[in-house]
């Protein structure tokens, strides 16, 4: 499977998410709040 870049429409949708810190055609980074919630949920499963 190859690498796919985000389209302009996908970037706009991702930017509207409160947990998205930054997004470009190639990368996405998430807020500290998202990371904290993710790890808290992850720890309950594993």
Q: Could you read off the pLDDT of 1-46 as tens digits, one per residue?
A: 578 999 999 999 999 999 999 999 999 999 999 999 999 999 999 8
> What is the reported pLDDT for 1?
59
User: Residue 3: its pLDDT value, please?
Assistant: 81
| pTM value > 0.85 | no
CA distances from 1 to 8, 16, 27, 35, 36 (A): 22, 28, 17, 27, 30
């Amino acid at each position: 499977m190859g690498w796919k870049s985000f389209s302009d429409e996908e970037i706009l949708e991702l930017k509207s998410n409160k947990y998205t810190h930054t997004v470009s055609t190639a990368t996405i980074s998430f807020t500290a709040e998202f990371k904290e919630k993710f790890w808290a949920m992850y720890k309950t499963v594993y």
